[in-house]
Amino acid sequence: MSASDPTAHHEAWLLQIQQQLAVYAKLRRQVRYFPLFAALTAPLGLVASPIVALVIFLAWMSIWATTLYITWMRTWQYSLELADMRADLRRARRAE
């Protein structure tokens, strides 16, 4: 194994982490509409009953909160990993 292989591996993983962070940023922008969807679709449940309207609203809001939580946590994890990977890459380049 040559000395450039770990550096190439680090750079490839760095690019993959950056792409994943971009995907999570896009997802967070998309889910900002979930409360609007909840406000628009919950009144449709009033045709059946107020309970159905409440369940529709709560379902949208729980999906929204869960998605935000997961994307924030994964973004935080990937940000830490990105910083670590950049430090490892600097160390690998210094060692060459």
pLDDT in tens, 19-55: 999 999 999 999 999 999 999 999 999 999 999 999 9
pTM, entire model: 0.76
Task: Give the Cβ contact number of residue 74 at 10 Å.
Answer: 15
Q: Amino acid identity, residue 23? A: V
Position 5: which residue type?
D
Question: Got the DSSP string for 42-57?
Answer: GGGGGGT-HHHHHHHH
H or E element: which one contains 41?
helix 34-41
Strongest mean pLDDT among 2-16, 57-71, 80-94: 57-71
